[in-house]
């Protein structure tokens, strides 16, 4: 098979580039990188649990970061567990809750559009006698509180429903869902995966009443390699990984201090002028969304509109063309996005999220996720809008489905 370097040479570096794949990996601004650099070899390069100066300096990074996280989610107590990514924090939330429970309760309720780092660990518990119940969502991705209420019984151990969907941007009404659960039985643990909510909507764990909540550094333009699980006081978790513990009782392995320092800086940048940042994202999101819907025929918007949609999320299905080829075509044009198509997945199955909102397979195959950020400007979106219509048009020239559709329309017009 071909070497990656050869492929890259053939691809070439586009003269203009707009990165819109913040879903899969966040772009890290220079200020954040700068904040990380000293911690490799100038200060705080030690182990945060060892009694020497570089160790104490490292511990200061942990302490300061956790204080900032607490402040930005308004946590008055409880614990923040630092993991090495969001997937680990989600695994700890699900499996750690199961291990920490008394085993009388064997039912885990989650939604059909959760991230796979919730769905897969939940399913992994099935072979140990747990039952996973997946709540369907409506056409915009919302969980119905009445349906949730119906599914809760004396066997229910926990409920895990994400705050903002990572693919279609649906903002769940977590407060109502928590109240629904707690009204029925306040011993049920409520976890929310908030990695796509943090830095995009206001989060107040005291007001929401969630027991566990996951955050991830790279989703707010911090580096990859840091995840956080908020654990409310009194919630019993058991560690799922074992090894040398450091400042963290629930997650072994030495903390990734430079990455935590970068996350720390990313929090500052995200939450200083928070409202302006969100407003900017919303403006760019709507510009991109309207630009695509108005200029490309045969396209469907996936997820809700307006204030119930994450400020950075645009997800559309281009009909009669396949998503993987769209990502390649746009990449050659310097526009970097991802797709929910089967062809981009290991199992050749399209996105479970797009299918769960009632889209057909062929609609899921043409789905493209764009995530704008506060680091984009109007000109970036204009550039994207200048490239998307011709990219789709070129692939539709190749597609027999597009030709058949054109011929059918022509026939109707002639009749």
Partner 1 sequence: MSTRTPLIYTPKILDLFRNPKNLGKMEDATVSSQAGSPACGDVITIYLKIEDSRIIDASFESYGCAANIAAASIITEMVKGKTLKEAWDITWEDVTNELGGLPSIKYHCSILAVGGLKRAIRKYFQEIVKMHPDWLPKDLSKEERQALEEEELIERIYRKYGVVP
**Interface pattern 134-173 for partner 1 (x via CB under 8 A):** --------------------------------xx------
362 binds partner 1 (CB under 8 A): yes
Nearest Cα neighbor of 284 from 295, 274, 296, 276 is 276
360 binds partner 1 (CB under 8 A): yes
219 binds partner 1 (CB under 8 A): no
Beta pairing, strands 212-216 & 189-193: parallel
- Cβ–Cβ < 8 Å for 189, 157: yes
- Pick between residue 135 and residue 210 the one whose CB is nearest to partner 1: 135
217 binds partner 1 (CB under 8 A): no
DSSP-assigned letters across all residues of 110-142: EETT--HHHHHHHHHGGGGT-EEEEE---TTSP
Q: Could you tell me how many residues of this chain bind partner 1 (CB under 8 A)?
A: 50
| CA distances to 3, 112, 325, 347, 361 from 127, in Å | 40, 20, 38, 22, 30
Least separation in angstroms between CB 378 and partner 1: 28
409 binds partner 1 (CB under 8 A): no
Secondary structure class of 33 (helix, strand, coil): helix
CA distance 122 to 248: 24
Q: Which one of residues 24, 42, 52, 377 is an interface residue with partner 1 (CB under 8 A)?
A: 24
- Pick between residue 126 and residue 349 the one whose CB is nearest to partner 1: 349
Nearest Cα neighbor of 338 from 85, 113, 20 is 20
- Whether 343 is a known active-site residue: answer yes
Tokens, residue 299: 């396209």
Which of 116, 343, 397, 408 does the annotation list as catalytic?
343
352 binds partner 1 (CB under 8 A): yes
Write the DSSP symbol of residue 171. Answer: B
Options 5-13, 48-56, 153-161, 379-387: segment touching partner 1 (CB under 8 A): 5-13
Phi, psi of 235 (to 5 degrees): -80, 125
Q: Which one of residues 33, 397, 408, 409 is an interface residue with partner 1 (CB under 8 A)?
A: 397
- Cβ–Cβ < 8 Å for 316, 337: no
353 binds partner 1 (CB under 8 A): yes
Options 2-10, 60-68, 220-228, 276-284: segment touching partner 1 (CB under 8 A): 2-10
Nearest Cα neighbor of 136 from 154, 122, 148, 123 is 148
Options 50-58, 188-196, 242-250, 335-343: segment touching partner 1 (CB under 8 A): 335-343
Q: Known catalytic residues? A: 343
Chain residues in the site for partner 1 (CB under 8 A) = 1-4, 6-7, 10-11, 23-24, 116, 166-167, 320-325, 328-329, 332, 338-353, 360-362, 365, 369, 397-403
């Amino acid at each position: 098979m071909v070497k990656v370097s050869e492929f890259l040479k053939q691809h070439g570096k586009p003269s203009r580039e707009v990165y819109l794949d913040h879903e899969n990996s966040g772009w890290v601004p220079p200020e954040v990188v700068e904040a990380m650099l000293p911690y490799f070899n100038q200060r705080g390069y030690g182990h945060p649990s060892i009694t020497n100066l570089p160790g104490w300096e490292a511990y200061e990074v942990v302490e300061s970061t956790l204080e900032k996280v607490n402040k930005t989610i308004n946590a008055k107590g409880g614990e923040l567990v630092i993991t090495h990514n969001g997937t680990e924090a989600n695994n700890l939330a699900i499996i750690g809750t199961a291990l920490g429970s008394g085993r009388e309760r064997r039912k885990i309720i989650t939604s059909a559009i959760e991230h796979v780092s919730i769905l897969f660990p939940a399913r992994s518990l099935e072979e140990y006698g747990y039952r996973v119940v997946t709540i369907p969502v409506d056409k915009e991705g919302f969980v119905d509180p009445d349906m949730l209420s119906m599914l809760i019984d004396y066997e229910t151990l926990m409920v895990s429903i994400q705050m903002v969907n990572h693919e279609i941007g649906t903002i769940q009404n977590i407060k109502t869902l928590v109240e629904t659960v707690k009204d029925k039985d306040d011993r049920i643990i409520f976890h929310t995966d908030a990695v796509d909510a943090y830095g995009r909507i206001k989060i107040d764990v005291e007001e929401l009443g969630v027991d566990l909540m996951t955050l991830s550094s790279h989703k707010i333009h911090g580096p990859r390699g840091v995840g956080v699980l908020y654990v409310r006081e009194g919630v019993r978790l058991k560690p799922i990984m074992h090894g040398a513990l450091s400042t963290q009782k629930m997650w072994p392995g030495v903390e990734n201090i430079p990455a935590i320092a970068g996350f720390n800086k990313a929090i500052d940048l995200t939450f200083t002028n928070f409202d302006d940042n969100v407003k900017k994202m919303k403006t760019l999101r709507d510009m991109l969304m309207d630009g695509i819907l108005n200029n490309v025929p045969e396209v469907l918007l996936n997820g809700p509109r307006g204030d119930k949609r994450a400020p950075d999320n645009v997800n559309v299905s281009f009909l009669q063309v396949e998503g993987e080829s769209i990502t390649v075509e746009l990449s050659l044009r310097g526009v970097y996005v991802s797709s929910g198509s089967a062809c981009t997945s290991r199992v050749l199955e399209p996105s479970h999220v797009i299918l769960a909102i009632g889209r057909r397979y062929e609609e899921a195959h043409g789905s493209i996720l764009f995530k704008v950020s506060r680091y984009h400007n109007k000109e970036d979106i204009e550039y994207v809008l200048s490239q998307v219509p011709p990219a789709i048009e070129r692939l539709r020239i190749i597609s027999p489905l597009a030709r058949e559709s054109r011929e059918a329309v022509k026939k109707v017009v002639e009749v």
